[in-house]
Structure 1
Amino acid sequence: MSAHNFLGNLQTYTDGLVEEGKTPAVSVAVWKDGQLHLAASGILNVETGVEATTDSIFQIGSITKIMTVSIIMQLVDEGKIDIDMPVRTYLRDFAIADAEASETITVRQLINHTNGMSGDFFPDESRQSGNQIARYLDRINRLPLIHPVGEYYSYSNAAFAVAGRLIEVVTGVSWYNAIEERIYQPLGMSHAISHPMDVIRYRAAIGHFADQTHPEGWKQTEQLYLSMGQAAAGATLTMRAEDLITFGRAHLEGGITQTGERWLSKTSLAQMQVQQVNVPTVSKAFTKGYGLGWGLLHHKQPEDTVYGHGGVTYGQLSMLRVIPKQNICFAILINCSEMGMMTEITNRFLNELASLDYSEAQAKFVNLSSVEQKRFLGTYASLGDGFRIVSEEDHLVAYYEDTVLKTPVERYSLGALEDDFFYGFNRDGSVALELQFKDCQKDGRYSYLFSGGHLRKRVLE
């Protein structure tokens, strides 16, 4: 199908996703060839039956990080921050459990995920008031270091929470106000919400989990927001798919707003979009990297580089992708937690809109003897989640537990690939995740397990 035909049938496509039971609701927006295309379908809340429209707002999760970095880079443009200076230059009370790391972590390392901080500290703040972003900085003084500063890439929500507080201290306004004054207002994002108290103004989605005992096949999530202290990492921002396109276009079009005003310097834009660090991947179709805020996908040709970010909150998923050489930007918002389905939709859009094929060749697996399997056994954990690798009937199996989202423990059968990579297979036999074991020691055991962007440290038993 041509891109023209796909866009002409965009509403039919979104209707099909809902009719097939893949999500309660979906909202998409596409910018291509100087035109905006919108479509939405489904139910925002299975308990109320409110229908989704293109003006409906969804939580965007970690796409927030790009906006947080955009503000930091504006402050760089203004001469108020040097990202290669230690965080303590601006936040004198910044401290984690490792004293040396507290002194040396730079702002750049904070926002390119090489800081080593344990990333998923989500305190329960549901009944607390006050500035939880400032309070979060006080709470992390015992947060452990997962790896030496600057040595590896490991996705850190905690680091971006610190970045949010840095913005507050340097600007003198709350992070929420900074988002509105420096992002929403100059870019004209008219249905974008920073603080949860304002969500009621709009037609808002609520998160869902698959539940076949429910008549609709979905159950409303019990919790609505991640920790408020993690706002700058992705806890609260809520908006239309169209608003994400407006934000994406500001980066796509050289830091110029739609009214023709300079919003971010070309130098700062380039730093955000240029690879700062490699990200491990088993893929043969593309390689991964990370800039400042933006994740990077490098396809077969340099001109096919895609930058973007995804987001996960309680029962909601988001995706923003920008293909600069083709002047394409698209956003996808759904109110369920089916990650595999989001990947399927994203790859379909990349293929139909930009002729980028992210399908993988047939994997070649390596047989491991029982002796070789022992090198990988053990528990690998960080604050917030962990994997337990065991051998069952002479086959490696991973058990994954998420203590933040508190989802049921998941079991994955592992298939060994080259370079200490593995695929993790669901019970239905589909590939659900990638894993890589890192830093092999003299005894043949590994120090770390990398999966889903996060590094987990092996727990000594």
Structure 2
Amino acid sequence: MSDQTLQEFVDAAAERFGIPGAAVGVHAGGRSVHANHGVTSVENPLPVDEHTFFALGSVSKTFTATVVMSLVEQGRIDLDAPVRRYVPELVLADEAHAAAITVRQLLNHTAGLGVRLVVETGDGDDALAGFVAHLDEIDLIGAPGSRASYSQAGYNLLGRVVENVTGHTFEQAVAELALTPLGLHETAYFTDQVMTRRFACGHNADEDGTPVVARQWKDTRGNNPGGGIAATVADQLRWARFHLGDGALQKRMQTPTVALRGSTLGDAFGVCWFLRDIDGTATVGHGGSGNGQFADLLLVPERDFAVSVMTNGGPGGVAFNREVVQFALAHFLGVVDRDPEPVAYDHAVVAPTAGVYEIDIMTLTIRTEEGAAAPTLEVVIKPEIRAASEKEIPADYPPFPFGLLPGTGDDYIITAGAMKGQRGFFTRDSSGAITGVDLAGRLFTRR
């Protein structure tokens, strides 16, 4: 257990990773502890505090899933019903696939949908309807129920389920079923609800490593269910305390539904939540990222503990958040999160992994060279996506060194850089040929 205070650790880590501003909250021992660092923006600097809004990215999915489960408890949604019961307008590239997907499969990322769909459907109340109308363009990565693969698009489709079931816009439904009842007055979806309050701007590093304000603050309205919420760390701890409760809804969401292999994110999906054993302790969590903003929320229900971390600086935000969460677990609970050690680099063993893999908007390239210290993994936005986008897209990360882990020889861990500690695995076909690579819960297929 460290002698440093939470504030001392946050300050030191933020300086080390070049983070302009961060807000950290811990619920432990029945009380809340906060540590805030830096400023909201390098251009218009205001001190970050526990009431500063950050864009939470995919932590938003926990709100969508909770609202869906609330409607399940009310008998208005059946988890095992086909999604078409609630969204009859759903069309995919494969009709059998569209007819088979269930609500449960959307919630635990086993619906066989690709990661995301890049489409602009405006800021009106029909944004989600417009998004769903384009789902015939999304990649289908496997039969429904055949495997877990993280999908932003699947959660946006869940948002349309909520709209059709409640008769309200998605945002109105979340407010009525979750935000208002729980007193979450510092949680919002729309920028005009945030801009009159103190909020953090995202930052990305320029060529010299200097933080530069990111001009797109958050994603489109059609992506609100999967990644559009903003909140303060004070409200995130309120949200955490709700999910630390012992109600049937909370327990159901924290019960494993499908195992995950070789993922830093978790050992299994519950309903939305990543479930992970850390040092013999069961944890429940979700992370999120946007344009220069990063958020993490981790719960330890058996210890009535939660930690929320928000930061407004890339590329170091992912690594900063991970280290703060690890510090909080060790400092408050004595729980140590250790990375597994890779085996020594053997070019002959690693060489078959070399090649190019892709999802809808990204390519992942693995390079192996004899005599190199380690193979590398590089993930970049596809050039055509950058060229077609009217919005600012963060710069790509440089290649990451990685190493294979003991065991099957198909699990790996990134050993340095902003994604240090991220784990994944290679997928093979029946002949043993490598056909894909999983990273951050997403399946990249080999070209």
Q: TM-score, normalised by structure 2?
A: 0.90
Q: CA-to-partner distance for each residue in 1:201-250, whole Å, 9 max, x for gaps?
A: 21000100123647xx3111132222321110012x11110101111111
Identify the match of residue 364 of structure 2 among 387, 391, 401: 387
Structural mapping, 1:124-203, within 5 Å: 124-125=120-121, 129-203=124-198
Unaligned runs of 5+ in 2: 386-392
Cα gap change, 1:392 to 1:137, in 2 (>3 Å): same
User: CA offset at residue 174 of structure 1?
Assistant: 0.8
Question: What amino acid sits opposite 2:426 in the alignment?
Answer: F
Map Cα deviations across residues 430-460 of structure 1 (whole Å, 9 max, x no partner): 8453331113342x4222211111011222x
Match of 2:433 in 1: 445
Aligned to 1:275: 256
Cα deviation digits, residues 319-359 of structure 1 (max 9, x gap)? 11111111111211111132122211111111111211112
Q: Report how far residue 73 of structure 1 moved.
A: 0.6
Looking at structure 2, the residues matched to 20 and 79 of structure 1 have their Cα atoms a distance apart, in angstroms, of 50
Equivalent position to 1:50, from 46, 49, 57: 46
Q: CA deviation at 1:300?
A: 4.3
Shift of 1:61: 1.2
* CA distance, structure 2, for counterparts of residue 80 and residue 209 of structure 1: 43
Aligned counterparts, 1:188-227, within 5 A: 188-211=183-206, 213=208, 217-227=210-220
Q: Distance in 2 between matches of 1:377 and 1:361?
A: 22
1 CA distance for matches of 2:45 and 2:309? 21
Structure 2 residue aligned with 1:360: 339
One-letter identity of the residue aligned with 1:415: G
Partner of 2:226: 233
CA contact (8 A) 2:347 2:369 kept: no
Preserved contact between residue 58 and residue 205 of structure 1 (Cα < 8 Å): yes
In the TM superposition, 1:322-401 aligns within 5 A as 322-337=299-314, 338=316, 339-365=318-344, 367-369=346-348, 372-373=349-350, 375-393=352-370, 396-401=375-380
Over residues 151-183 of structure 1, what are the superposed CA-to-partner deviations in whole Å (9 max), with x where a residue is unaligned?
A: 111100000000011101101111111121111
Q: Which residue number corresponds to residue 117 of structure 2?
A: 121
Return closer, same or farther for 1:273/1:27 CA change in 2, 3 Å cut-off. same
SS of corresponding position for 1:50: coil
Contact 1:54 1:241 in 2 (8 A): yes
**Which residue is equivalent to 2:423?**
434
In 2: Cα distance, 1:124 partner to 1:171 partner: 24
Q: Could you list the runs of 5+ residues in structure 1 that have no partner in the other structure?
A: 256-265
Show the counterpart of 1:243. 235
More displaced stretch, 325-334 vs 373-382: 373-382
The 1-side partners of 2:111 and 2:350 are apart by 31
Contact 1:43/1:52 (8 A) holds in 2: yes
2:245 pairs with 219, 243, 253, which one?
253
Q: Single out whichever of 399-408 and 74-83 deviates more from structure 2.
A: 399-408
Of 283, 295, 298 in structure 1, the residue corresponding to residue 274 of structure 2 is 295
Structure 2 residue corresponding to 1:423, chosen from 398, 413, 431 = 413
State the alpha-carbon separation in 1 of the partners of residues 297 and 75 from structure 2.
Answer: 29
Asked if 1 retains the 8 angstrom alpha-carbon contact of 2:23 and 2:36, the reply is yes
Q: Tell me, what secondary structure is at the counterpart of 1:275?
A: coil
Contact 2:203 2:212 in 1 (8 A): yes
TM-aligned CA distance change 1:433 to 1:298, over 3 Å: closer
Over 3 Å counting, the alpha-carbon distance change for 1:186 and 1:50 in structure 2 is: same
CA gap 1:219/1:89 in 2 versus in 1, 3 angstroms: same
Residue type at the aligned position of 2:276 = L
* Cα deviation, residue 200, structure 1: 1.2
DSSP-derived class of the 1:201 partner = coil
Please tell me whether the aligned partners of residues 53 and 232 of structure 2 are also in contact (alpha carbons under 8 angstroms): yes
Deviation at 1:287, TM superposition (A): 6.0
Query: How far, CA to CA, are the matches of 1:331 and 1:270 in structure 2?
Result: 20
Asked if the contact 1:414/1:423 (under 8 Å) is kept, the reply is: yes
Counterpart of 2:292, as a letter, is G
Aligned to 2:199, what secondary structure does the other structure show?
coil
In 1, Cα distance between the equivalents of 2:401 and 2:6? 36
Residues 1:95 and 2:106 are matched in the alignment: no
d(CA) in 1 for partners of 2:84, 2:158: 11
Q: Corresponding residue for 1:413?
A: 401
Mean CA deviation greater in 27-36 or 417-426: 417-426
2:389 matched to which residue of 1? none
Q: Relative to structure 1, is the Cα distance of residues 244 and 111 closer, same or farther in structure 2, using a 3 angstrom cutoff?
A: same
1:436 aligned partner, one-letter code: F
What residue is the counterpart of 1:258 in the other structure?
none
**Residues 402 and 409, structure 1, Cα contact 8 Å, conserved in 2:** no
Contact persistence 1:122–1:230 (CA under 8 A): no
Structure-2 change in CA distance of 1:382 and 1:19 (3 Å)? closer
Is the contact between residue 96 and residue 144 of structure 1 (CA under 8 Å) also seen in structure 2? no
Aligned residues: 432
Q: Which residue of 1 aligns with 2:446?
A: 458
Whether the 8 Å contact between 1:146 and 1:456 is mirrored in structure 2 is no
Residues 260 and 269 in structure 2, CA contact (< 8 A), matched pair in contact too: yes
Answer whether contact 1:367 1:416 (CA < 8 A) is retained. no
Aligned mates of 1:44, 1:324 — CA distance in 2: 31
Contact 1:22 1:341 in 2 (8 A): no
Measured after TM superposition, the shift of residue 426 of structure 1 is 4.3
Change (3 A) 1:132 1:317: same
Counting only pairs closer than 5 Å after superposition, residues 18-29 of structure 1 correspond to structure 2 as 18-20=14-16, 22-29=18-25
Asked whether the equivalents of residues 24 and 43 of structure 1 are also in contact (C-alpha less than 8 Å), the reply is yes
Aligned-partner Cα distance in 1 for 2:16–2:345: 36
